[in-house]
Structure 1
Amino acid sequence: MEFVPDNVDVDELERRKALYGPLAEAVRELVDATIRSEVDDEVIREVHAEVAAATSKLRARQIDGAFGMRLTAAGESIAWGNAGVGLRNAIAPPLVIESDDSGRHWTDVTLGAAYEGPPGMVHGGICALVLDHLLGVTASADARRYTGTLTLRYLRATPLGPLRAEARVVGVDGRKATVRGTLSDSAGVTVEAEGIFISRR
């Protein structure tokens, strides 16, 4: 994995968060509104033109390719294009990962209309995205590891709305860590996951 130097200090990092975070959230709201809107045809055409104009403004100056992984002057990683947690990525829910001293990691996330698969339910691939990211973070608590295998067991459909994902390392063998996790709604577990995550040599 290539890390691009972006030697910003803490103040500049916070400035960029305050600038780009609300923009991505506004685009998330736009996506949700686009899916659920029932306004008149003329309003749709007006909004289409406004969105196209806004997109043109943002494209006036942009990087080549994807955002990638950058590092601050203090060595903190900036993965703002990441599909799971990217601050600048309106596709990302985004996930906020928390942990405790026991090694348990979790995230509470609300998945709305943009993440639908079957009617009223979360797309199975989005469930996999949430669990893959959480299990990967959990596996990388002591050393950066990457997904080797990910096995999912869908116990029942996952409804759109508030959800919790939890994970824990259950074994380490050399470069490999085995992690188990779950995705749950208020009624209990909907998806079980087990992954093997491998560190680079």
Structure 2
Amino acid sequence: MSADQPREGRIPDGSSFLPGGFRFSDVPTEEIDRLEAELVPLADSVRALVDATIRSTVDLDEIRRARAEVDAVTARLRAAQMEGPAGVHFNAEGKAWHWGNAAVGARNAVAPPMPVRRDPDGVTRADVELGAAYEGPPGKVHGGVTALLLDHLMGVTASDGSRPTMTGTLTIRYERATPLGTVHLEGRIRGEEGVKVFVEALVLDDEARVCVRAEGVFVVPRWARQFAGLPEESGD
């Protein structure tokens, strides 16, 4: 058994580092799926706790009791933890996991979360539920939150399932306030030039009205260009 494989239900922490901070972990996909089945519900519960913390109107004595209970649970989880960030892992079967990602991290209660799919028409799409924790103006989504979600969706779009890309530039135009609730994102590649990928994306409300438009240039990083069949010295 590899040192990366979990024993007695322990969480793998990947020890083979690659350029860009990616980690190869010799952990079977079946084991990662088993762990996520336990870890995702915990993040869901914490996400619900955040929402309840914002909107609760219980009396202050109950607030104090709840705080003590939350502190006790936090101490239990701190008893054994990884050092530093969660990082991005992948295994020999092509399974990738980024449990700490701010937009889609399966273990990150800050993430909405946002599962991204690539449809047959070549458009990447995501449906996201944004509640009280993502509010900016009253009843509306904070503009920084839509920027975060667009940046991630557009990065997935540019990567096209075959290459890593990093955000070069991101231009956002807010056309109307995005209401809290279910929002829809769409992204498409509009062109490529060497190591650069040009992407457009939208945020739509639940009535299919465009709330936010974005354009971005995403770049294949130097360390990954050989894998994408690009000259390492091309572009910036």
Query: 1: CA distance between counterparts of 2:92 and 2:74?
Result: 31
The equivalent residue for 2:221 is 200
- Matched ranges for 1:36-115 at <5 A: 36-115=55-134
Q: Report which of the two structures shows the higher radius of gyration computed on alpha carbons.
A: 2
The one of 138, 143, 159 equivalent to 2:179 is 159
Q: What SS does structure 2 have at the residue aligned with 1:45? A: helix
The equivalent residue for 1:19 is 38
Query: 1: CA distance between counterparts of 2:183 and 2:191?
Result: 26
Query: 1: CA distance between counterparts of 2:34 and 2:119?
Result: 29
Query: 2: CA distance between counterparts of 1:186 and 1:42?
Result: 39
Asked whether the 8 Å contact 1:106–1:167 carries over to 2, the reply is yes
The equivalent residue for 1:122 is 141
Query: 2: CA distance between counterparts of 1:12 and 1:76?
Result: 11
Asked whether the 8 Å contact 1:184–1:190 carries over to 2, the reply is yes
Query: 2: CA distance between counterparts of 1:66 and 1:10?
Result: 21
Task: Structure 2: give runs of 5+ residues left out of the alignment.
Answer: 1-19, 223-236
Please tell me the residue identity of whatever aligns with 2:54.
I
Query: 2: CA distance between counterparts of 1:172 and 1:30?
Result: 43
Please tell me the residue identity of whatever aligns with 1:98.
R
Runs of 4+ in 1 over 3 A off after TM superposition: none
Asked whether the 8 Å contact 1:96–1:108 carries over to 2, the reply is yes
The equivalent residue for 2:157 is 138
Q: TM-score, normalised by structure 2?
A: 0.83
Which digits, 9 at most, give the CA deviation of each residue in 1:10-43, with x for residues without a partner?
2211111111000000000000000000001111
The structure with the largest strand share of the pair is 1
Query: 1: CA distance between counterparts of 2:140 and 2:121?
Result: 32
Query: 2: CA distance between counterparts of 1:137 and 1:147?
Result: 11
Query: 2: CA distance between counterparts of 1:52 and 1:133?
Result: 32
Asked whether the 8 Å contact 2:119–2:125 carries over to 1, the reply is no
Query: 2: CA distance between counterparts of 1:17 and 1:6?
Result: 15
Q: What SS does structure 2 have at the residue aligned with 1:172? A: strand
Please tell me the residue identity of whatever aligns with 1:65.
G
Greater RCO (CA < 8 Å, at least 6 residues apart): 1
The structural deviation recorded for 1:6 is 2.3
Query: 1: CA distance between counterparts of 2:92 and 2:27?
Result: 6
Q: What SS does structure 2 have at the residue aligned with 1:108? A: strand
The structural deviation recorded for 1:184 is 0.6
Asked whether the 8 Å contact 1:182–1:190 carries over to 2, the reply is yes
The structural deviation recorded for 1:81 is 0.4
Identity %: 51
Asked whether the 8 Å contact 1:72–1:78 carries over to 2, the reply is no
Asked whether the 8 Å contact 1:169–1:180 carries over to 2, the reply is yes
Query: 2: CA distance between counterparts of 1:64 and 1:116?
Result: 31
The equivalent residue for 2:201 is 181
Bigger Cα displacement from structure 2, 70-79 vs 133-142: 70-79
Query: 2: CA distance between counterparts of 1:180 and 1:126?
Result: 17
